[in-house]
Structure 1
Amino acid sequence: MDSPEVTFTLAYVVFAVCFVFTPNEFHSAGLSVQNLLSGWLGSEDAAFVSFHLRRTAATLLCHSLLPLGYYVGMCFAASEKQLYSPSQAPEAWRLFLLLAVTLPSLTCTLIYYWSQDQWARHPLARTLALYALPQSGWQAVASSVNTEFRRIDKFATGAPGARVIVTDTWVMKVTTYRVHVAQQQDVHLTVTESRQHELSPDSNLPVQLLTIHVASASPGVQAFDIRLNSAEYGELCEKLQAPIRSAANVVIHQSLGDLFLETFASLVEINPAYSVPSSQELEACIGCMQTRASVKLVKTCQEAAIGECQQCYCRPMWCLTCMGKWFASRQDPQRPDTWLGSRVPCPTCRARFCILDVCTVR
């Protein structure tokens, strides 16, 4: 396991995966196609369409060279296999070399085909040509896209490999190998899925990701999906001219408060339940007066005389939603990462409690 061959293979696989999917650390170090070839690609702000015509082609070529790079590296890591002399190399390695050479050769052929007629055969140029007027070409549409992208009021979000850009006229999704483009007036947008993640890798907070299907009424324009944080949904709607429909059973949380209430409820369900004495009748929640009281504060996080939490002797007077809203209202909006572990006073007797002390009644 400690041989140079195995060590190089593991290291190269990690490098290849990071080079293709490009995590933030690689972007910061400049190890991406966009950074390495910035001199040839030009500026995205100056010419958005031209930049991505070249970027997608260069990315495809660089990624197709990875198998050949592995073979060259193995010539040094496993010199005993004589890989530098294909005629003497094992048959399996000769087949791998053939594949490693064929892949970039086919890619170069495809890129040459795309670049003919000033990139008119590129998939992005072909999509733009569908929106061109009879007396003009795709370059005129590209000029309109470039102009709108330079405006500061555009909506833009997402990782480098899956960016979502919405301008006054266009809805675009920029991926590693392609740029999807649709005109706003022709699209039908539908929220098809929502996924709840307990912790975001960036902020350590709950996050809801929405999947929106973008289908164009123009024939020939391929439909595509965009993903974004539900907190950005309102800003997206403000930029869009077309309404967004929601599929059945899709609930959208547009604020951090909505996400917190859902997390608060899920944590309370895990806590021990509180049995109400048979002689005690549950009254309406004094917060909303719409539902019966459903929670009781009982110190269960620690022993009675230990810790900051205190025993609350109030009878059940609040529903779960109102108690969650009270808990959220006592938090520092600038420090949402501390909400779940904080302690707040009881809204009635001011005894301090944490989420572990909120028990559902039965």
Structure 2
Amino acid sequence: MASEEFIYSLAYLLIAVCVVVPPTEFRSAGLTVQNLLSTWLGSEDVYFIHYHIKRTTATVVVHSLLPIGYYIGLSFVAPDLNLQTPWEANSLWQLYLLASTIYLICASALAVYWKSHKWSCHRIARTLSYHGTSWRAVAAAIDIEFRRIDKFTSGPSGARVIITDSWIMKVSAYNVNVAHQQDCHLNILKSEDHSISHESSTGAQFLTIEVISVNGNIKPFTIRLNSSEYRDLKDKVQAPVVNARNVVITQSLTDRFLDAFREQVAHNPRYHLPEGSVEPDPCIGCMQITSNVKLQKFCEDASQGECVQCYCRPMWCMECMCKWFANRQDQRQPETWMSGKSPCPTCRSKFCVLDVCRLA
């Protein structure tokens, strides 16, 4: 039968790991440093830099409490170890208590040092000072860009990648790496393929990308993201992405379907705009590409099948129509997408891939 000390040690180790690296269940329940101290930390959306300066400081202190917390808890679980009277305890436990106390004191001293001069001594503030004459001005610029809805974000809260119009940032437990887009380039280091993923039934590929700045004061750092997000990252970054090691990047499921969708549409009949009709407007899905597809029933006779004739004028581009179609299929069975049906995004008339026609 397991002893009380073993059961307590195992349970405390599990809790400590969940505190240091919160799993999804802990984050959902709000059992994280940022949620428990949200009143003191303030709003990340409003003051991104100051929020993470406070968060990293609090994280250092909270994590430094874990070793001595284990000692205090064990002193109540196993009173025969004499941990409540350290001078009577085993020398190894005395050494453990001394090391835990010194660790807590050093972490607390570091937190006090970081807070001095209105946080100017914090490592994040020092990093920002390399990007301008005043770290507070740089922080204000980052705060403004972070509030915009078009930023790129990826990863869990403890290892998040954030890319705004001018900045590439990696948020970790104890730091926030910051690089200016115009000063850096990205280098793909390696890829990791996983046949089983909690995000997708078809597995996942993760890319490790190094961010290297020409600013000598900014140390290179790595970011990790799902290959399905690689295209979004390239669209957001201004810096060149170098694949010197020729890493094979697996396309996302949507990208693979888009290729198959395009190939099929290329074989479908073309749609000719009526004479005198106005030129197509920009796609109402992305507002970037001119509408270039029209739904026209060609799969079967007009009175047969589930598909019906759509009378909407061209309002969508190929990519947006493909994404709309894919999102309305069974996500657990991607092999059935090409034979599936979808309602028109405008009038809800049912159509299939054979009914999507390019404009002539």
Q: Identify whether the pair has TM-score above 0.5, normalized to the shorter chain.
A: yes
Superposed CA RMSD in Å reads: 2.5
Q: Secondary structure at the match of 2:103?
A: helix
Cα offsets for 1:200-241 (capped at 9, x unmatched)? 123332211111110001111011001111111111111111
Q: Secondary structure at the match of 2:169?
A: strand
Change over 3 Å in CA distance of 1:45–1:258 after alignment to 2? closer
> What is the CA-CA distance between 1:110 and the residue it aligns to?
1.1
1:12 is matched with 12
> What is the CA-CA distance between 1:165 and the residue it aligns to?
0.2
CA distance in 2, matches of 1:337, 1:139: 48
Cα offsets for 1:112-139 (capped at 9, x unmatched)? 1111211111111011001113xxx110
Counterpart of 1:172, as a letter, is M
Q: 244, 250, 259: which one pairs with 2:241?
A: 244
CA distance in 2, matches of 1:27, 1:124: 24
1:200 is matched with 197
> Are the aligned partners of 1:53 and 1:122 in contact in 2 as well (CA < 8 Å)?
yes
> Are the aligned partners of 2:329 and 2:337 in contact in 1 as well (CA < 8 Å)?
no
Q: Report runs of 4+ in structure 1 exceeding 2 Å deviation.
A: 202-205, 257-260, 331-340, 342-345
Cα offsets for 1:11-63 (capped at 9, x unmatched)? 00000011100001111122111111111111101100000001001001100
Counterpart of 2:90, as a letter, is P
Change over 3 Å in CA distance of 1:259–1:228 after alignment to 2? farther
What is the number of residues matched between the two proteins? 275
2:206 is matched with 209
* Gaps in structure 1 of 5+ consecutive residues: 261-330, 346-362
1:234 is matched with 231
Q: Secondary structure at the match of 1:40?
A: helix
CA distance in 2, matches of 1:32, 1:332: 33
> Are the aligned partners of 1:208 and 1:259 in contact in 2 as well (CA < 8 Å)?
no
1:60 is matched with 60
Change over 3 Å in CA distance of 1:259–1:98 after alignment to 2? farther
The TM-score with structure 2 as length reference comes to 0.72
Alignment of 1:294-333 (within 5 A): none
CA distance in 2, matches of 1:132, 1:344: 53
> What is the CA-CA distance between 1:343 and the residue it aligns to?
12
CA distance in 2, matches of 1:200, 1:116: 44
Q: 240, 256, 261: which one pairs with 2:253?
A: 256
Q: Secondary structure at the match of 2:44?
A: coil
> What is the CA-CA distance between 1:193 and the residue it aligns to?
0.9
* Gaps in structure 2 of 5+ consecutive residues: 258-325, 340-360
Q: 164, 169, 187: which one pairs with 1:172?
A: 169
CA distance in 2, matches of 1:3, 1:195: 41
Alignment of 1:220-231 (within 5 A): 220-231=217-228
CA distance in 2, matches of 1:88, 1:69: 19
Counterpart of 1:131, as a letter, is H
Q: Secondary structure at the match of 1:337?
A: coil
The TM-score with structure 1 as length reference comes to 0.71
CA distance in 2, matches of 1:100, 1:223: 32
2:48 is matched with 48
Counterpart of 2:107, as a letter, is T
1:26 is matched with 26
1:311 is matched with none
1:119 is matched with 119
1:299 is matched with none
Cα offsets for 1:232-264 (capped at 9, x unmatched)? 11111111111211122301123216779xxxx
Change over 3 Å in CA distance of 1:332–1:48 after alignment to 2? closer
CA distance in 1, matches of 2:254, 2:170: 29
Q: Secondary structure at the match of 2:50?
A: helix
Counterpart of 1:210, as a letter, is L
Q: Identity, % of aligned pairs?
A: 48
CA distance in 2, matches of 1:259, 1:178: 37
